[in-house]
Structure 1
Amino acid sequence: MPAPPSASQQRQAARLSTSVVFKPTRTDMALIEDLEHRTFLWFWEAGDAQTGLVPDRYPSDQTQASVASIGFGLTAYGIGAERGYITRQQAIERTLNTLRYLTKLPQNDSAENASGYHGFFYHFLNNKTGLRFNKDIELSSIDTALLMQGILFTESYYTQDTPQEAEIRSLSNQLYQNVDWAWMRRPDMRLSMGWSPEHQFLPNYWEGYSEGMMAYILALGSQKHPLEPASWQAWLTTNDRRWGEYYGQTMLNFAPLFGHQYTHSWIDFRGIQDDWNREKGIDYFENSRRATYAQRNYAMTNPGKWQDYGKDVWGLTASDGPGELTQTVGGTPRHFMSYSARGTGRDYTQDDGTIAPTAAGGSVAFAPEIAIPALREMKHRYGNHIYSRYGFVDAFNPSFHTADKSFWSDTAYLGIDQGPILLMIENWRSGLVWNTMKRNPAIRQGLLKAGFRGGWLGNEAEVSAPASQHANAQHSAQSGQQQSG
């Protein structure tokens, strides 16, 4: 066990996850409302109404469905019902079609005639058949986790006493409990990143602060195939090496912002801490807030001298790019990339001047006072080159020039980048996704087994109770919203 926090750390912990008071203007709220609606529309129109499969990309490529996009989509439908974009009945029907389809997909060790194995799903599925897209696609622990987050959201959102909503709850629980996390666990207690019939378990595993956090929490919360707390401790082993100051922010580093956003899209970490948090006097929400500020500070410093970087044009994360090529910019050869995990941190910096709006959009709940002005400025400066029917395109690059265009902008929208924008805007506005997930016994149990305490999780006396006693507990909203929806 770590040593008790010092007095200064305790004072810092008392101020966990406090944010600058931000009062959005009418223009700000008009943008946020429009962006949320447009981003929801992507999931509604991209998803197949009968199967619920959601493509990785839309409308540019509809051949492969992404199970992660399905997870974001299942959450999006609840948001749409709450916001009045669709009716609750429409959300129920799309959700039921999705869950029914997923439960019927074949789970076996076949290389060609399977959609998953041991409850896990392949990263990409054929958008027409629902089967593994091709032999290069792995059974993915993290993409299954993203799917399961959306599935658990449906279990806790559709709580009315009707046959359809009861079926949603039953199918959701079945799909989640079927995931054999213990099978994916390696001898060193960590989760493998995946498996394939051709190569068995991948050599890489989930270690250290990243989006992998959600997989461990989900695995710890499982009743049927759980991991033990030792797996959480194994995941934490590299945290101290990643902890340090970067561009004025002392934080747990992970270069691309998606690693600070994905788990937080569903789970509210404000005021709850595991042992490592308590030792440092921080929570993971505050860490993500600091990471957001570090990225903005990096753009303001602009060590790479990329065009347009500044206080309101920033944001590096995994995204599309202009392509794998070298172009001379200002007399200097510059290498540009296609899809890549762009980011900046103590661990690495990968930057070719490509900005992904999801970096700021997915950070609205962490730091609205800098994220919303960034979204506003990007829309104002680049207009319909980057903002269209489904909100912001995946990425753009002002430094990349061609004979007929002054900068590169994408034509694609990606589900895994649209998702954080939609969910985190709604969390900022109302706390809907966070508060729904607080009612889920698996999420609560997973957090408790990982050692989280405090905040909405309650005190030491409460954490000893079985998860089943908390299944229908109502927790305080604590949405922390700066602006009512």
Structure 2
Amino acid sequence: MGAHPSETNHLVNTSAMQDDLATLQRETFDYFVHEANPANGLILDKTEANWPASIAATGLALASYPVGVERGFMTRSAAAERTLATLRFFWNSPQGPEPDATGYHGFYYHFLDMQTGRRAWQCELSTIDSTFLLAGMLAAGQYFDADTEAETEIRSLAEVLYHRADWRWAQDGGETVTHGWTPEHGFLKYRWEGYDEALLLYVLGLGSPTHPLPKSSYTAWTATFRWEHCYGYDYLYAGPLFIHQLSHVWIDFRGLQDAFMRSKKSDYFENSRRATYVHQRYAADNPRGFEGYGEHCWGITASEGPGPSTLKLNGIERRFEGYVGRGVPYGPDDGTLAPWSVAASLPFAPEIVRPAISFCIHQAKLKAANAYGFKAAFNPTHPGASGNAFGWWVSPWHFGLNEGPVVLMIENDRSDLLWRLMRSCRYIRSGLQRAGFEGGWLRELEPGSTPAA
């Protein structure tokens, strides 16, 4: 399923590839236009019937609306109206220990009823999903800078909603931050430890002017990191590809170094580049012998799958999983790939991502007849339902959490839009500096520095 190297170079450089990316971005953006409740701004987590909203998807939508305006997908006034409805909803929604509230201590429940905005499914108050929501609010506050009544209110609400989050409460007396809390059982036993998507969480927590995390919390988090050597690369290990992407959707880590990365003579952006290559090399190596894997067909991350089930295929008993955090190189790996996770690596390694996106669109036909770009996942080893058009399993759903990184990372690769917005946010700058980051674009903020050309 691979291409000759000369074909790869052709794929990387053609205007057809630019057209493919523009179309993919536009179609993916439509998820946030249509899978929403305009009255409260909430965004559907998943396109399955009777599904609730996701606060992370809602945060990604808030960050994506500026892309929509800049690319002509929606008007500035429509984007401001949708953004303002979202921020007003969260500001006015019930905060408290009641089991049917929307949030507590400035954080919000992972899933909310699309209509009422109240907690769904007895889910947890999620610190990481609240982080993505608050980051989306801050991005909106940076983008909507006009001296109009609506945009002034957007900026004001973004600030007070961010200020309300009580990060110290979320530590529950420990150094690191807990995953969340429920009214029924209190704080979850799990904490944000080990390299994961919480890089953004700690930056926002450290940058808070009202309830900041202590600097020691960041030191405690980085003390749990694992540096590994894999497929010829030395890198900070995390198995699922999304971990190497989600914080980078918001923050431009090129050249920025904290104490950990200074000690490794690297940075988190370079680390994500290496991780992207590790994922591609793993797929080309294909140690478990799954169908389809190759240099242009990869992308293992947390995703939906065809299981849970066990099938005997070509004399081999295969165990397939449902929604799990698939990872490289240690697994779990059941042959399920997520094309959105390839697109979200575009800024890190465009030379291998562009051919893979082209493969997913043109050879695997993973965008055909889909309203919102790529479906969530596919598995060429699993036969799927009988009579399906692909001949293998393809997820029937779209997820808001997958759509946002595609829109935003394509845009960061094209124009740095979200990165520029967040560079101008004083809370992001403060959080990075309190975490010990230096260099990169932060250097331009140092006294006596000369702005980069």
- Tell whether the structures are fold-level matches, with TM greater than 0.5: yes
Asked if structure 1 preserves the Cα contact closer than 8 Å seen for 2:380 and 2:393, the reply is: yes
Match of 1:398 among 380, 388, 392: 380
Asked if structure 1 preserves the Cα contact closer than 8 Å seen for 2:25 and 2:410, the reply is: yes
- Other-structure match for 2:61: 73
Q: Which ranges of structure 1 fall in alignment gaps of 5 or more residues?
A: 1-19, 466-473, 479-485
Task: Write the distance in 1 (CA, Å) between the matches of 2:236 and 2:44.
Answer: 32
Task: Write the distance in 1 (CA, Å) between the matches of 2:275 and 2:12.
Answer: 22
- Other-structure match for 2:190: 204
Aligned-pair distance for 1:372?
1.3
Asked if structure 2 preserves the Cα contact closer than 8 Å seen for 1:105 and 1:115, the reply is: yes
**TM-score computed with the length of structure 2 as normaliser:** 0.94
Q: Secondary structure at the match of 1:392?
A: coil
Query: CA 1:71–1:330 in structure 2 vs 1: closer, same or farther (change >3 Å)?
Result: same
Number of residue pairs matched?
442
Asked if structure 1 preserves the Cα contact closer than 8 Å seen for 2:367 and 2:374, the reply is: no
- Other-structure match for 1:47: 36
- Other-structure match for 1:111: 99
Query: CA 1:398–1:353 in structure 2 vs 1: closer, same or farther (change >3 Å)?
Result: same
Q: Secondary structure at the match of 1:413?
A: coil
Match of 2:81 among 76, 79, 93: 93
Matched, 1:433 2:452: no
- Other-structure match for 1:310: 294
**TM-score computed with the length of structure 1 as normaliser:** 0.88
Matched, 1:381 2:366: no
Aligned-pair distance for 1:382?
2.3
Matched, 1:341 2:341: no
Runs (4+) off by over 4 Å: 384-387
- Other-structure match for 1:149: 135
Query: CA 1:104–1:191 in structure 2 vs 1: closer, same or farther (change >3 Å)?
Result: same
Task: Write the distance in 2 (CA, Å) between the matches of 1:350 and 1:386.
Answer: 28
Match of 1:84 among 67, 72, 87: 72
Asked if structure 2 preserves the Cα contact closer than 8 Å seen for 1:257 and 1:316, the reply is: yes
- Other-structure match for 2:261: 277
Task: Write the distance in 2 (CA, Å) between the matches of 1:288 and 1:387.
Answer: 32
Compute the RMSD of aligned alpha carbons: 2.0
Match of 1:64 among 45, 52, 62: 52
Asked if structure 2 preserves the Cα contact closer than 8 Å seen for 1:299 and 1:310, the reply is: yes
- Other-structure match for 2:404: 419
- Other-structure match for 1:138: 124
Asked if structure 2 preserves the Cα contact closer than 8 Å seen for 1:63 and 1:128, the reply is: no
Match of 2:217 among 231, 234, 257: 231
Aligned-pair distance for 1:62?
4.5
Asked if structure 1 preserves the Cα contact closer than 8 Å seen for 2:367 and 2:373, the reply is: no
Task: Write the distance in 2 (CA, Å) between the matches of 1:310 and 1:127.
Answer: 40
Task: Write the distance in 1 (CA, Å) between the matches of 2:372 and 2:163.
Answer: 34
Asked if structure 1 preserves the Cα contact closer than 8 Å seen for 2:194 and 2:222, the reply is: yes
Q: Secondary structure at the match of 1:394?
A: coil
Task: Write the distance in 1 (CA, Å) between the matches of 2:451 and 2:95.
Answer: 36
Aligned amino acid, residue 445 of structure 1: S
- Other-structure match for 1:4: none
Asked if structure 2 preserves the Cα contact closer than 8 Å seen for 1:386 and 1:396, the reply is: no
- Other-structure match for 2:437: 452
Task: Write the distance in 1 (CA, Å) between the matches of 2:445 and 2:340.
Answer: 37
Task: Write the distance in 1 (CA, Å) between the matches of 2:176 and 2:355.
Answer: 40
Task: Write the distance in 1 (CA, Å) between the matches of 2:367 and 2:415.
Answer: 30
Q: Secondary structure at the match of 2:13?
A: coil
Identity of aligned residues (%): 43
Q: Secondary structure at the match of 2:63?
A: helix
Asked if structure 2 preserves the Cα contact closer than 8 Å seen for 1:312 and 1:370, the reply is: yes
Task: Write the distance in 2 (CA, Å) between the matches of 1:360 and 1:392.
Answer: 11
Task: Write the distance in 1 (CA, Å) between the matches of 2:369 and 2:386.
Answer: 22
- Other-structure match for 1:3: none
